[in-house]
Structure 1
Amino acid sequence: MFVNLAHKRSYYIVNAITFYRLLTAPLLLTLLFYERLSIFKWLLIVSFLTDAVDGHLARKFKVTSAFGSILDSVSDDLTIAVAIIGIVLVNPAFLRQELVLVVIQVFLFFAQIAAALFRYRKISSFHTYLAKFVAVFQAVFLMLFYWLPQPVYILFYFVSALTILDLLEEIILVLIIPKWETDIKGLYWVIKKSALPKV
């Protein structure tokens, strides 16, 4: 019974951390519109840090779940979306200059969501190795964007290339994986697994 209580407590703690990120997204958006950038950029850092913490704790205490996985994905997407809206408000010239790359990424993002909703009736939550890798660099670029006087263009192009690869991989995964799954390592491992002889 003690183990069950400890497990439940860990489950609630991990999801509470994720909920923080979900609930902070509208607050971040409000801060942007009221031009409270000094508070916004600190809270944005906290949100990105909670993304690293909740995933690590979920795996450590073995409290991963379908609900937690979807909650994490939605919270991540909202945090990134708010940070991108901030780019539009804070430095619209940067957005105009890099509009093609941004449009490609936004299109692929919504295409992936549409494909998952059509196939699984809910958003995907693969959490591939590539997605985790990309998330780190997205967070680094977006945080630096608000702290440095000029955007780091080399990092932006690197992150954009990785993001496009990640979204293409996730679209392909939606097309080839018949049922909703989470914690998929990546396309290579799915293909490798399907190529193994059936026992």
Structure 2
Amino acid sequence: MSKQSSYIINGITLYRVFAAPLLLILIYAKHLDVFKWLLAVSFFTDLIDGYLARKYKVVSILGSRLDSIGDDLTVFVAVIGLFVFKADFAHKELRILMILFSLFVFQTVFAMVRYKKISSFHTYLAKFAAILQGTFFILIFLLPEPLYFLFYIAVVVTGIELIEEIILIGLLPKWEADVKGLFWVLKRQKHS
């Protein structure tokens, strides 16, 4: 791992952290046209930094935490945009959104209590959920009508991913980076 690769990848990740306040300003100013494209760039940088980190074997605790913070801020801003720019859809699906939000809050608080930090496991399921979430959020702001089938698929996968993360927090006595998923943790514990 070269320091230059690490700086570049963490810089791409930091874009999402710094873009979140700008996206909030765009929501407040009701600039949907600029908001939707910058949001798409934020979700795209999540794919890029993850790909580059794996390709160049750049793994660090700082990078993992920055990535999780950037991911959470991007989704948070996207949800706020949903309530502002797609209010009818957001209010119609409010119960589902509140269930996911409650699972997320529980998972985050549980990790903070157990590890004194957010979980940032980056499981395979979390990566798949992020792709579905990003695709849904990009398309809901680009298309005239929401793709409900994509929304429900993203909801189910995200819900399962949050539950997996909660179970992993309960199973892993110490924080670990880049946990593949519950199956692999259980398999490892069985062979220990």
TM-score bracket for this pair, using the shorter chain length: over 0.9
Residue from 62, 84, 91 that aligns with 2:86: 91
Q: How does 1:59-70 map to 2 (within 5 A)?
A: 59-70=54-65
- Residue of 100, 109, 112 corresponding to 1:114: 109
Q: What is the deviation of 1:94?
A: 1.2
TM-score, length-scaled by structure 1: 0.94
Matching residue of 1:3: none
* 2:143 aligned partner, one-letter code: L
- The DSSP-based 3-state class of the residue aligned with 1:131 is helix
Following TM superposition, by how much is the alpha carbon of 1:91 offset from its aligned partner in structure 2, in angstroms? 1.7
Partner Cα separation in structure 1 for residue 132 and residue 76 of structure 2:
15
Report deviation, 1:112.
0.3
Determine which of 184, 189, 195 is the counterpart of 2:184: 189
Q: Percent identity?
A: 52
User: 1:119-143: CA deviations, max 9, x gaps?
Assistant: 0000011100001011111001000
In the alignment, which of 130, 138, 142 is matched to residue 143 of structure 1?
138
Q: CA deviation at 1:156?
A: 0.7
Deviates more, 1:107-116 or 1:85-94: 85-94
**Computing the radius of gyration over CA atoms, which structure comes out larger, 1 or 2?**
1
Please tell me whether residue 131 in structure 1 is matched to residue 126 in structure 2. Answer: yes
In the alignment, residue 71 of structure 1 is paired with which amino acid? L
Which aligned runs of 4 or more in structure 1 are off by greater than 4 angstroms? none
SS at match of 2:127: helix
Partner of 1:41: 36
Aligned equivalents of 2:108, 2:74: Cα separation in 1: 16
One-letter identity of the residue aligned with 1:152: L
| Counterparts of residues 158-169 of structure 1 (less than 5 Å) | 158-169=153-164
1:8 Cα deviation (Å)? Answer: 0.7
Residue 56 of structure 1: CA displacement? 1.2
**Out of 13, 19, 24, which is 2:14 matched to?**
19
The alignment's TM-score, normalised by the length of structure 2, stands at 0.98
Aligned to 1:52: 47
- How big is the shift at 1:99? 1.3
Deviations 1:26-79 (A, max 9, x none): 101100110111111111111111101111111211221001000000000000
Partners of 1:182 and 1:149 lie apart in 2 by 39
